[in-house]
A and B are shown apart, each in its own frame.
Chain A
Amino acid sequence: MSASAILAVDALVAGYEPGVPILRGVGIAVNAREIVVILGPNGAGKSTLVKAVAGLVPISAGSVRFADREIMGVPAHLIVQRGLAFVPQTENVFTAMTIEENLQLSGHVLAKAGRARQIEAMYALFPDLARQRRLAAGRLSGGQRQMLAIARALMIEPKLLMLDEPSAGLSPKLVASVFGKLGEIRESGVAILLVEQNARAALAVGDRAYVLAEGQNRHEGPAAALGNDPVVARLYLGGMAAAHGRSANP
């Protein structure tokens, strides 16, 4: 846990039901301008980790420090106002509202002038959205909806953006496009915590990675090194190892 960490999670125990912890002592850190990837098999607790940090899952022990302040037990809507944005995996936009309304709603934590400027910045980052501001979000395609969800999260000008499997259900081309945006977002000064099943694509864009299993830390290291570790690949990144195998022997 370096002193410059924007997010420092320590010995976190959390779960939906009292006495049934899903996370059993997880620790991670995200530094400024860093993209950190969380990998692991289904049921490892990856989603629970980001939801607990966002204030959506009860925490029973440990510590969650964000921008040098403890945020454990702070209501979710106040955590957002401190600059921590979260994009859930599903149902991450308001389908009955227009694109513009989704952005306005999220940007209300900013002053009015800042909100208008940030909305235009989001349209510049995602030109697809700018062309259909008055369209109900429910009518967007999967890829566009994911872009809107990310734009919506960025509306608060966050210090840290957490994404839960942004590649789920998207075609490989769209995955490349979404992950390409993550690079741009990091360049603008936002740290990113990325939970992914799609290990290969995530490790390609990430700086460091953690592998979780059964609610605990299993491996960690630089993204490139972790991707090339044969033990890690075989045990926890099965999908990626298979993909490597296919590309090696067409």
Chain B
Amino acid sequence: MTLQFLADGLVMGAMTGLGAIGLTLTYSILRFANFTHGDLISWGAYLTLTLALLIGAAVPYGEPIGPLSFGWPVLAGGLIAMAVTGLLALALDFLLFARLRRRGTAIIMVIASFGASLALRSLLEFLFTSEPTYFSREIQIAIPLAAGIRVTPDQLCSLGLTALLVGAMHLLLTRSHIGRAMRAVSENPALARIVGIDVAAVIRTTWLIGGALACAAGVMLGLTVQIRPYMGFDLLLPLFAAAILGGIGSVPGAVIGGLIVGLAESAGVQFIGANYRAAIAFLLLLLVLLVRPTGLFGVRP
């Protein structure tokens, strides 16, 4: 028996957790299941790819950094793409969700997000074809760790960046006014208005942050797996499982939920078979909804 599934599960789980943070925030503050979140992940990856190619062509410092498979253009492009994906989410809200929010039924928002998700995904296929692509064709040499576990430098880098972003999000939500305002709107929007919070500004911030985190998850997924128009959509079920497992609205919950889903999936692939990978997130989701619908850290079902 090899313990490799632990490392793979951890890497996959960290990315799932990162994606689930954005999902859990939009779910708890905007109060609907946003199906476009998966496509924001894909758009983030393709935007980064495009920007990295442009930056790489313009400046001469495109060589891979140390043992990593990618260079500064991917990092710089990723940062810009995070902002652009945030703006894309904001534009979606302005064009679609804000208009429907005034009518006040969550199911209309969910179905609309399903439609927008389809459109965003098709647009990616139209622009970039459905052929998988990569940030880099460099070969990665996996570093052996203890007990026969191997990880690539890209995987370690993704784990580190995820930890950094999760820590930053935690500080934002607990130490800054806008973070506390986001938690306030998530718990009780009417009371939030009474304490002087501009709920519309909180909603805009939530879209920006949700989009930026989706983009970051997309870049890491692109680095460690591959870039496809369906990459984010295929991740939606694990994302929802992680967000609900951790408890809707909880950032630490989303990360821990993501790690549990990631580890369960890779354990399932190793011990049961790769065909059952997709079923595992689904089973976890069902179990949580039956046994503890508020999730590990949640207060509201």
Contact = CB atoms under 8 A, between A and B. Distances in A.
Given A77-B199, A97-B184, A92 B177 contact: no
Given A77-B197, A77-B198, A109-B196, A95 B299 contact: yes
Contacts of A152: 195
Contact of B196 (A80, A93, A96, A138): A80
B93 interface: no
Interface in A81-103: 81, 86, 88, 91-97, 101
Interface residues of B, number: 17
B194 A86 contact: yes
Given A77-B199, A91-B188, A97 B180 contact: yes
Nearest to A138: B299
Contacts of B195: 80, 105-106, 152
Interface in B168-224: 177, 180-181, 183-184, 187-188, 190-191, 193-199
B184 A94 contact: yes
B70 to A, nearest CB: 40
Contact of A76 (B183, B184, B194): B194
B168 to A, nearest CB: 19
Contacts of B198: 75, 77
B299 A91 contact: no
Nearest to B186: A96
A151 B177 CA distance: 18
Contact of A88 (B177, B183, B194, B199): B194
Nearest to B174: A101
Interface in B240-298: none
A94 B183 contact: yes
A101 B177 CA distance: 10
Contacts of B188: 91, 94
A219 interface: no
A233 interface: no
A107 to B, nearest CB: 9
Given A77-B199, A95-B299, A96-B299, A105 B184 contact: yes
A80 B194 contact: yes
B191 A56 contact: no
A7 B190 CA distance: 22
Nearest to B299: A96
Contacts of B199: 77
Contacts of B190: 56, 88, 91
A76 B180 CA distance: 18
A104 interface: yes
A156 B195 CA distance: 9
B193 A77 contact: yes
A94 B196 contact: no
A1 B191 CA distance: 30
A108 interface: yes
Interface string A127-151: 0000000000010000000000000
A190 interface: no
Interface string A52-81: 001110000000000000000001110011
A152 B187 CA distance: 16
Contacts of B193: 55-56, 75-77, 80
Contacts of B177: 104-105, 108
Contact of B191 (A55, A81, A88, A138): A88
A6 B250 CA distance: 42
Nearest to A97: B183
A139 B195 CA distance: 20
Contacts of A105: 177, 180-181, 184, 195, 197
A80 to B, nearest CB: 4
B203 to A, nearest CB: 13
A81 B196 contact: yes
Contacts of A55: 193
Given A56-B190, A81-B196, A105-B180, 5 more contacts: A76-B193, A91-B188, A95-B187, A105-B195, A105-B197
8 contacts: A77-B193, A77-B198, A80-B193, A88-B190, A96-B187, A96-B299, A105-B184, A109-B196
What 3 pairs across the A-B complex have the smallest Cβ distances? A80-B196, A76-B193, A106-B195
